[in-house]
Structure 1
Amino acid sequence: MTRRELSKDTVMQSAFQVLKAGQIFDGVQARGPGMVMIENGLIRDVDFTGAVPPENATVTDFGPAAWLLPGLVDAHVHLCWDASTDAVAHVTNDDPGAVLDTARTAAVTALRTGVTTVRDLGDRDYLALTLRDQVPPTQRPEIVAAGPPITTRGGHCHFLGGEAEGAEALLAAVRERTERGCDVVKVMAGGGNMTPGSNPLHQQYGPADLRLIVEEAHRLRLTAAAHVHAADAIGDVIDAGFDTIEHFTFMTLDSAGLRDDLLDRVVKQRIFVSLTAGMVPGTPPPPPAIAARIDAMIDVATKVIASGARIVVGTDAGIEPSKPHHVFPYALVQLAGLGMPTLDVLRSATTEAAEAVGLAGRKGVLRPAADADVLVLDSSPVADVSAVADIRAVYRAGHRVPGN
């Protein structure tokens, strides 16, 4: 490649498009002016030399103030949940067609906010897979799907249909998810706040069951994610070898309190922590159990960030009104407000999250052979991470998303 023109070998004699901007964050670092070359839905090359695009390229120059970023990755969403005051009733009782419509709308909403990949960690009737099959990739985010989370009888989110207890049933549950085309196994290792009769301080599965699930998931080349709040259950999840730990709040009876020994293990073992972040201002407050502990939970999150743990952003979008499916930018602002440097925030939402959800190299990076999921911003997210809301354009698999 010369500074004057990209080689014919590089473009393979075929027309493609070029996106230019004054700055590029490639998923790892902020670079200078450059261009991203896209062909057949993939990134063909990323150039910072000032080369002239070839004559057969369609060039879009967003100007010197614009930034190009990899599409963002939300590591924990619920596309089938409508973010209403009773999202549980909707996802449980409405007919499958209505719930699928909710998921379709949620996917479009997320995509327009620059979230080009989501990990759906709890649907009903495997509807996230139905959505993935029915909607073309350019019209929705990439969907990393768990199906209904595995839970105990009457346990947290049992109404989604994932109840399983005992070794044979647990193995069968993991295998069913593989056969249906899921990418990740989600396990309710402890209780939760959204389910009547469930308690987030209670463990739902013992150490042997958790290890069994993880070993079978890994044998079948699935990743494993654990919903967990209380310290003892967090310890069991670490022992079992889960790939990501969801929430990681260290809830106690009336507050939340970090266990330094468990955090140290997570840091040393480089386990991904999916912090639940992001609330849209002006919306109703979170459930009482969360609201009563919110200050203590923020203190825990601040210490987790300061520890150097591998943090990714999981909004839990859909579960209640403060978490609609456009909440992701607010989550990044919250992490920055808790002391995470802006470059680390951006990495957590791109390269780190892509690795956590099993898509390292394909998502969250601007480099050759990665998917051409690109976010174009009007101003610098490094100077102020809230710039992620100043969207000029979103590209999914090389196609510009309508509405931006």
Structure 2
Amino acid sequence: MKLLLKAGLLIDGTGTTAVSEGAVVIEGDRISKVCKQSELLESDISGAEIIHKPNGTLMPGFIEMHSHIHCSAHTDAYTHITTESNETFLMRGTQAVRSALSSGVTTMRDLGSRNEVVFPLRKGIQDGIIPGPRFLVAGTPITTTGGHCNMFGTEANTSHEVVQAIRQQFKLGADHIKIMSTGGGFTPGTNVRAPQYSSEVLRGAVEDAERLGLKVAAHCHAAKGVVNCVKAGVHNLIHCSWLAEDPENMYDYDTDIADEMAEKGIYIDPTLALSHLNRMRGRIPVPGPGPASDPGRRFEILRDMWDRGVKFVTGMDSGMTNANFDDFAYIPQVMVEEMGISPIEAIICSTKTSADCLGMEAEIGTLSESKSADVLIIDGDPSADIKLLHSVDTIVSQGKIVKKEGILLI
């Protein structure tokens, strides 16, 4: 199959200036040419199915870095996750991956779902049984006994047990490792202000994962947990909330540690759209220790980290209450509106930087010759108005048309 996509603008994801009157030629599941429309040859056009959006923008597909596909995203998501069967989780997951793909997510990483659910779901997508994006999975997250997400995690307390859990996930075919370095708000009774693992245990986890060719993502709310993760060389920090040990204080932000993150090339997924979605959908934050209690200071910290050179990726924590699987575009929107970065910078985080974090920069993240044909056409110019990322006109995922000129085909 040969496909020619044309639009008024082209954003290739590299950070270069948008190209006017851009074109992308796709052959099979690969991009064969990226150029201005005036540079197209007859051989590029001949035999191609053409989709042309004069007022649209071509750009790479979205990369969603943090989902839990068997969670419901409902107010009672915790009740669902603790009472429903694996069969129900599979049905939820099937709906979740279709919903994500339908919104323009062409690569999706699940960072914590039951092995019995997420591995068969990945196989179902790969075999074409169900529609979904390129799907990367960690499987069960590693946590302490009774720790955060223990209800669908692997409980491991000592360094030996953690390494053993990593090897088991590797054996099952995990693409990444997820470890819960602190408590979390989704699991009652866990302490969001204290570490679950020492830096020594985390370092052992990173070393063994690297030996197996895997990267480690760590959930961390507590500032001490953030420090432990950075000292251990964890590749990707999730939330990175900097919560102070003393409940009388909200945050304990350490600029020296932020600088160390930047120096080590550690990627941060701050899941910063969650509080926005909760406010938008009428969920009033309960007074407590979470980042939602002081969002202004939270975004000041994130902006300072950005200015120090810390690299940000785009994870939703989809499946948590009010974080639906088709909500991706709110992430770059909040980055622009609350962190104060430019729309192009937010788009790069949503594409190229997230691909770099996954170690898949040769395959996805930018529009360039020989890369996977994961391409969107946006209705309008998102480099001028980031909210236009909600208006996806056309979706091509690995060379297959998922949505064409506003009509969903899956």
Query: Normalising by structure 2, what TM-score?
Result: 0.90
- Number of residue pairs matched by the alignment: 389
Q: Offset at 1:213?
A: 0.5
Match of 1:183 in 2: 175
Pair 1:53–1:26, CA change in 2 (3 A): farther
Specify which of 232, 236, 240 is matched with residue 244 of structure 1.
236
Match of 2:203 in 1: 211
- Structure-to-structure mapping, 1:334-349, within 5 angstroms: 334-337=334-337, 338-349=339-350
- Structure-to-structure mapping, 1:45-56, within 5 angstroms: 45-48=33-36, 49-54=38-43, 56=46
Aligned AA (1:284)? R
* Separation in 1, partners of 2:126, 2:193: 41
Contact 1:126 1:148 in 2 (8 A): no
Contact 2:22 2:34 in 1 (8 A): yes
Q: Offset at 1:53?
A: 4.2
SS of match in other structure, 2:257: helix
SS of match in other structure, 1:168: helix
* Separation in 2, partners of 1:84, 1:106: 13
Match of 1:297 in 2: 298
1:269 maps to 2:264: yes
Deviations 1:218-238 (A, max 9, x none): 110011101111222211111
Which is worse superposed, 72-81 or 301-310? 301-310
* Separation in 1, partners of 2:101, 2:285: 24
Aligned AA (1:43)? I
Q: Name stretches of at least 5 consecutive residues in structure 2 with no aligned partner.
A: none
* Separation in 1, partners of 2:85, 2:262: 43
1:258 maps to 2:253: yes
Specify which of 10, 15, 36 is matched with residue 24 of structure 1.
10
Deviations 1:227-256 (A, max 9, x none): 111222211111111111111111122412
Specify which of 199, 218, 239 is matched with residue 191 of structure 2.
199
RMSD (Å), alpha carbons: 1.7
Contact 2:86 2:116 in 1 (8 A): no
- Report runs of 4+ in structure 1 exceeding 6 Å deviation: none
* Separation in 1, partners of 2:234, 2:85: 33
1:36 maps to 2:37: no
SS of match in other structure, 2:123: helix
Specify which of 206, 225, 229 is matched with residue 233 of structure 1.
225
* Separation in 1, partners of 2:221, 2:116: 25
Q: Offset at 1:126?
A: 4.4
Match of 2:314 in 1: 313
Contact 2:122 2:136 in 1 (8 A): no
Q: Offset at 1:137?
A: 6.8
Q: Offset at 1:136?
A: 4.2
Pair 1:251–1:393, CA change in 2 (3 A): same
SS of match in other structure, 2:54: coil
Specify which of 84, 88, 110 is matched with residue 120 of structure 1.
110
* Separation in 2, partners of 1:135, 1:335: 30
Q: Offset at 1:89?
A: 2.2
Match of 1:333 in 2: 333
Which is worse superposed, 128-137 or 231-240? 128-137
Query: Normalising by structure 1, what TM-score?
Result: 0.92
Contact 1:156 1:188 in 2 (8 A): yes
Which is worse superposed, 148-157 or 132-141? 132-141
Q: Offset at 1:63?
A: 3.0
Contact 1:306 1:339 in 2 (8 A): no
